[in-house]
Structure formats: structure tokens, C-alpha cells
Amino acid sequence: MGRASGGGAPKGFGPDGDDSGCPFLHIDMDAFFASVEVRRRPELRGLPVVVGGTGGRGVVSSASYEAREYGVRSAMPTAMARARCPQAIFIPPDMEAYAQASRAVMAVFRDITPLVEPLSVDEAFLDVSGSRRLFGRPAEIAALIRRRIAEEQQLTCSIGVAPNKFLAKLGSTRAKPDGLLVIPADRALKFLHPLPVSVLWGVGERTEESLRRLGMRTVADVAHAGPGLLRAAVGQAMAAHLHELAWGRDPRQVSTEHQEKSIGAEVTFDTDLGDPEQLRKMLLALAQKVAARARASGQAGRTVSIKVRFADFRTISRSRTLPGPTDVAHEIMSTAWELFEAVRAQQRIRLVGVRLEGLLAAEGAVRQLALGEAEDGWREAEVASDAVIARFGRGAVRPASLLGTTRRSSGAARPLPQNPAPGMVVPLSDPPTPS
């Protein structure tokens, strides 16, 4: 069933540790996208599997632990991953399959406690303080969750059990892969203080370098640094934040009301594009994706923004606030295209993105018609399309201008060859559209 504790943890922090005062769990699925692919293609088990864009400018989304042994990591260019692990099996991402797996995993969490805070499709915080009567101690609950996910979903996860969210997150990281780690409240500093400053939330490369220049290399160094020295390194607000974390203090509670601030989609082209008609079609596909996601989440937004990266890697963004909120692709596309035409300047394009911001609940928020204004029927048509797509798949309804372009994978796995060739790209169904 996996390891009891993470290899990077001090001795004595296993599942039998004192979990009194440890109501917080952080659960992180192991190599989630790659694991879902291995689950539906058992012949990939034990092989280096890389999920991500397979084109010349693709990026790794997930890598199995067999691939990670060769130095393959998430967010790495696919070309670099191929160089490091040429024998890997490369698979285009199938976001629908991962979303479905995520929903099943989150349902397991909610069977245990209603206090679930998803952070992404593959990780969440849980507060199990009210679940002890039914399921036992926090560590026992964590073991139960791991067992259920393994048996019901054929996936593995790593769990940290701790007095607060910050420590629970550190625990799950050091329990990987497929492990469980308890950080007792009275031993939290013994666990925390020897760690490098980079484990503190908010410490990126620049902040780490600023701290190192002043001799602060471990969390203990930050904890014992004088207030003036810490402020000199990172500023007043960040200094106060890091001081609290360095002493293992994190007052945040599990929040079950998570609202996205924006909904977006973007695509990087394998070859720089300059044809206005191709670019228009891609923006339309992105606008449709954003609008469909907004309607599915019951939200609408007032601001449309675009992101454009030119062939020389110069990246710009532009936005416009509408008179009222919308979840209609036609309106999003119209605004996005106007913004795009104003910045394109005949240059070739490497990446485009569309985003809907200023979100609020769509009920009663979608733009009301002005007195005497005719209905255009676009929203009704798109809602009807949603229903058709939900029943028959994404290829069932599309604008005529997008006929013949690539479609998103349906999620059905094609059978693999008996012996996958090293470095081969495994197709799903149709090539995926922008993420």
C-alpha cells in the first residue's frame, strides 16, 4: 500500500506519530495525469510515461516516477524531456479524463468530511476535526482515504497530517510518493527548522537569494533572525509572513467556498502563425472554451482579456470591461478579436490566450437587454449546444468556421501497440485543442 512515511522526514514522523491536535490533512495525488493514463493502459505500468504537449513547443504536464528518475519534471519543455529520457512514452493530455478522475477522488474526500478545500484537480486540504467519532484519529482517517483511493480508483496519493495547513502541505510533499506522514504539534519545529528556506510559502528564487545573502539558509535561520534583518531582506509585509511560518504558525482554516477569479484558455503553436484567418479561428475556439467553462461553473464575467506572445517572445496582454457580465462566446470573441487586431501589427504569433475576469454568479447577472433592444439569441443557442455536447461529445456541435479543425479528445483510450516503441507518442482519439 505504499510507504509509511516520506524519505526526507526526520525519524519518528510516521503514521503512528502523535496526531492529537492535528486536524488538517493535505492530500496530493501522485503524478496524477500520468497515473490516470497508466490506470487505463496497464501495459504502461513500470515504464517512463510523460504527459504533455507533444509538439516542438510542448511542455510536460506530468511525469511518472520512472520518468522522473531521468530528471523529467513538470513544466519542462517536451524537447528537453525527450533528450533526458528518449525511451519515455509521450501522451497528449486528456483533460476530460483527468477532470473525471478528480471528481471521483474529491467525492471520496467529501465522504469523510464536508470541510474540503480543493487547490487543483489533484490536491486538497481537509479538516477532519468533526470526523473522529465516525472514522477515528486523523492518521487513521488518512490511512482510510489512501486505502479507498487505491481500491476504488486504482490511484495513489500522499498525505500530510498536521496542526495547520502549511505543515500539512509540507508533510505530504515529504511523504511522496505514496506515503503518509504525521507532524505532531509538539514536534513541529523539530521537523520544520532544519528545512531550507525555499519550503516557506512565498519564497521563490529571488527571495531565497535575498535571504541567503544575509546568511539565512534554513527555516531556523529565518525564525531566529532579528526583525530588522528580515525586513531588510524581504520587506516589512513579507518579513512578518515568513516569521510566522518559520515558527510553524498558520491561522488559515479550510475554506469550502472557493471561487475562481478568472477563467481562461490559451494555446502555443507548433509553428508561429501569421494568417489572420487561422488566428481568428483559434481565438474563436478559445472564446468558446472559456464561455462553456463559465456556464458550467455558473459564472459570468465583466472583463475580457487576451494574451499574445510574438515570435520574438515579447508578450503583451490587453483587456476591456464590458457594460455587463457575460458567459456568451459570441460576445467574448467579438471583444477578444477587437483587442487582438489592435496589437497584431502583422507580426507572427507564437501564443494566444483568452480570459474572462471579474467573475460573479451568473444567475441574474447575465446582461439585461436595454429597453427596445432586440434579443440576438446567441446565449440561448450556446446553452442548447451545451446540452447537445453533454450528451453526444464535443465534436457534435461546432461553429461552421471551425469544421475541419482539431477536436479535443473524447477521453476514450485507443489500444496501445503490444510493445510501445521508446519515445513514441501515444494518441488518445483526436488531437487535443488548446488547454
For residue 304, which of 328, 285, 280, 270 has the smallest C-alpha distance?
A: 328
Is 127 known as a binding-site position? Answer: no
> Which residue bears the cell 533528450?
83
What is the greatest pairwise CA distance in the chain?
Answer: 74
Amino acid at 5: S
For residue 170, which of 3, 4, 8, 11 has the smallest C-alpha distance?
A: 8
112 three-class SS = helix
Q: DSSP of 268-336, one letter per residue?
A: EEEEEE--HHHHHHHHHHHHHHHHHHHHHTTEEEEEEEEEEEETTS-EEEEEEEEEEEE--HHHHHHHH
Bridge-based pairing of strands 180-182 and 299-310 is unpaired
For residue 199, which of 215, 223, 182 has the smallest C-alpha distance?
A: 223
Is 331 a catalytic site residue?
Answer: no
User: Distance (Å, rounded) from C-alpha 210 to C-alpha 61?
Assistant: 30
Is 376 known as a binding-site position? Answer: no
Catalytic hit among 37, 66, 123, 266: 123
Q: In what order do the strands lie in the sheet with 349-361?
A: 262-273, 349-361, 299-310, 315-326
429 three-class SS = coil
User: Distance (Å, rounded) from C-alpha 304 to C-alpha 301?
Assistant: 8
Residues belonging to the binding site for Mg(2+) are 28, 122
Q: Which residues are catalytic?
A: 123
Residues belonging to the binding site are 28, 122
